[in-house]
């Protein structure tokens, strides 16, 4: 009996096995979706958005353009990594084909399942092997992780993998002085920003924490940190130069923030407004086509700020509603929890409450125990969603930080957190030299 239990324990903590289970669950949902949704719908509808439009143009040799499948010229609405990946799939399997859907969804499933590895590594470093395995298992079975790779042919699953990997790399680099590690860290950040610029909200907290750790340990080497920054800039610079040339203005990564800000802050939310009370995709695409991208976004920026200036109270109310929606999946939890519409929706609502409670408990535990990893971990739930509180939000947009939330929900509140070997006696959330409160 003890031999059997020992083997089960080894299997439960074997990260390759957890990865295979995670991948299997995601592929199983993909198979289910393919069974219940007609093939002609799967071949077209998942690509009926901006990423699909740009990828189609790339695959047909027209360049990074045609945001809404119309000849509107170059665009900086998106960053290049995922559209290029999808364009490669289109080149091999055909544009808007069933085979392309399967290939893209399978790739997303792989990205999502691979996030088990950095989650496991971070959990093991912060809380030990049982916590690491628990967090990886939670990510393997978490509903959002299973559904998102198939539901969204977008950078969502790749962003989740990169976000988890950034946390792993940040903790690793805090105790490393190798030049190669700093180069790789800068390159990882460059890839991440060219995949999902929203991850950039984490950058100052990760870099700042690394600098503080090395300074406290007496191992700070500014040249190596500069090397990491140089590689980050080198990866993003060609895209920024391309955007500057095409649009005659500085666009470091993507241009669509004014539109997103306007979508979350416009007259449609004012019940006393006499303005149009609906927004249609056709209307916005037509206006984008007529004005061009730069003029269209300038108009949306002015409209959004005009609304914010003239409706400060409503703007704050919308901000609060988006905070609720980010974490609970709905702006009206009392109403929607009582009438969810289906058992699946009810389960997702309940799951979101569980996640929120777990995250708050983890943050409290990290802070109370003066854990040295508080800053890089806490940045995910505290800092990453801020831009969506200001613009518009959904569980899909929060998804990149979900792997770290899985770590926080199960591993950090339940298991004891190990103190860092180099943690100073001052009880700071950073590590210091012996005898130095840092």
Report whether pLDDT(80) > 50.
Answer: yes
In this structure, of 31-40, 166-175, 215-224, 412-421, the range with the lowest mean pLDDT score is: 412-421
Report whether pLDDT(433) > 50.
Answer: no
What angle (nearest 5°) sits at the alpha carbon of residue 283, between those of residues 310 and 271? 35
| Cβ-contact 325, 392 below 8 angstroms | no
Report whether pLDDT(143) > 50.
Answer: yes
Say what the pLDDT of residue 154 is: 96
**One-letter-per-residue 3-state SS of 233-283:** HHHHHHHHHHHHHHHCCCCCCCCCHHHHHHHHCCHHHCCCCCCCCCCCHHH
Span 349-362, average pLDDT: 90
Span 217-237, average pLDDT: 91
Say what the pLDDT of residue 4 is: 66
Say what the pLDDT of residue 415 is: 52
Alpha-carbon span 188 to 208, nearest angstrom? 16
Q: For residue 284, how many other CB atoms are within 10 A of its CB?
A: 16
Span 168-175, average pLDDT: 92
Rg (CA), the chain: 23
Alpha-carbon span 394 to 155, nearest angstrom? 15
pLDDT band with cut points at 50, 70 and 90 for residue 419? very low
Q: Cα(first)–Cα(last) distance of the chain, in Å?
A: 49
Span 212-221, average pLDDT: 85
Say what the pLDDT of residue 5 is: 67
pLDDT digits (tens, 9 = 90+) for 356-385: 999 999 999 888 888 889 999 999 999 999
| Cβ-contact 307, 265 below 8 angstroms | yes
Report whether pLDDT(322) > 70.
Answer: yes
- Specify the higher pLDDT residue, 165 or 416: 165
Report whether pLDDT(103) > 70.
Answer: yes
pLDDT digits (tens, 9 = 90+) for 396-408: 999 999 999 999 9
pLDDT digits (tens, 9 = 90+) for 252-261: 999 999 999 9
Average pLDDT, the chain: 89
Say what the pLDDT of residue 8 is: 73
Report DSSP state, residue 163. H
DSSP states along 367-382: HHTT-TTHHHHHHHHH
- Specify the higher pLDDT residue, 337 or 56: 56
Report whether pLDDT(279) > 50.
Answer: yes
Model pTM above 0.85: yes
**One-letter-per-residue 3-state SS of 289-311:** HHHCHHHHHHHHHHHHHHHHHHC
Say what the pLDDT of residue 277 is: 61
Report whether pLDDT(338) > 80.
Answer: no
| Cβ-contact 413, 422 below 8 angstroms | no
In this structure, of 264-268, 279-283, 397-401, the range with the lowest mean pLDDT score is: 279-283
Say what the pLDDT of residue 365 is: 87
Report whether pLDDT(267) > 50.
Answer: yes
Alpha-carbon span 148 to 28, nearest angstrom? 13
Say what the pLDDT of residue 254 is: 96
In this structure, of 118-122, 185-189, 251-255, 328-332, the range with the lowest mean pLDDT score is: 328-332
pLDDT band with cut points at 50, 70 and 90 for residue 1? low
pLDDT band with cut points at 50, 70 and 90 for residue 420? very low
- % of the chain surpassing 90 pLDDT: 69
Report whether pLDDT(428) > 80.
Answer: no
pLDDT digits (tens, 9 = 90+) for 42-73: 999 999 999 999 999 999 999 999 998 888 89
Span 328-345, average pLDDT: 79
Furthest-apart CA atoms within the chain: distance in Å? 74
């Amino acid at each position: 009996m003890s031999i059997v239990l020992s083997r089960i324990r080894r299997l439960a903590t074997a990260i390759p096995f957890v990865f295979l289970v995670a991948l299997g669950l995601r592929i199983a949902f993909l198979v289910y979706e393919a069974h219940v949704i007609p093939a002609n719908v799967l071949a077209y509808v998942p690509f009926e958005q901006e990423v699909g439009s740009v990828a189609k143009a790339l695959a047909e040799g027209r360049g990074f353009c045609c945001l809404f499948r119309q000849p509107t010229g170059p665009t900086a609405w998106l960053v290049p990594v995922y559209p290029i990946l999808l364009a490669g799939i289109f080149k091999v399997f055909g544009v808007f084909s069933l085979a392309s859907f399967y290939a893209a969804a399978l790739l997303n499933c792989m990205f999502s399942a691979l996030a088990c590895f950095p989650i496991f590594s971070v959990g093991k470093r912060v809380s030990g092997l049982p916590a690491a395995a628990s967090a990886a298992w939670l990510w393997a079975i978490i509903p959002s992780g299973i559904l998102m790779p198939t539901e969204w042919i977008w950078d969502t699953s790749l962003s989740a993998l990169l976000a988890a990997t950034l946390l792993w790399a940040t903790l690793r680099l805090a105790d490393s002085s190798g030049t190669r590690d700093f180069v790789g860290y800068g390159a990882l950040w460059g890839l991440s920003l060219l995949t999902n610029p929203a991850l950039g909200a984490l950058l100052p907290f990760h870099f700042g924490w690394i600098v503080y750790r090395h300074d406290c340990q007496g191992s700070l080497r500014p040249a190596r940190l500069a090397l990491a920054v140089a590689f980050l800039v080198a990866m993003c610079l060609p895209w920024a130069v391309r955007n500057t040339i095409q649009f005659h203005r500085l666009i470091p990564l993507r241009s669509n923030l004014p539109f997103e800000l306007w979508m979350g802050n416009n007259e449609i939310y004012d019940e006393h407004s006499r303005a149009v009370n609906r927004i249609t995709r056709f209307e916005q695409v037509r206006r984008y086509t007529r004005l061009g991208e730069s003029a269209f976004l300038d108009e949306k920026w002015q409209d959004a700020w005009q609304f914010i200036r003239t409706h400060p109270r409503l703007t704050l109310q919308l901000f609060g509603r988006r905070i609720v929606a980010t974490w609970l999946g709905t702006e009206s939890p009392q109403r929607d929890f009582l009438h969810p519409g289906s058992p699946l929706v009810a389960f997702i609502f309940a799951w979101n409450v569980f996640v929120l409670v777990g995250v708050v408990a983890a943050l409290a535990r990290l802070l109370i125990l003066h854990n040295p990893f508080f800053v890089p971990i806490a940045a995910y739930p505290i800092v990453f969603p801020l831009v969506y509180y200001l613009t518009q939000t959904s569980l899909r947009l929060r998804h990149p930080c979900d792997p770290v939330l899985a770590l926080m929900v199960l591993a950090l509140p339940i298991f004891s957190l190990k103190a860092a070997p180099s943690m100073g006696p001052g009880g700071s959330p950073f590590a210091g030299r012996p005898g130095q409160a840092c």
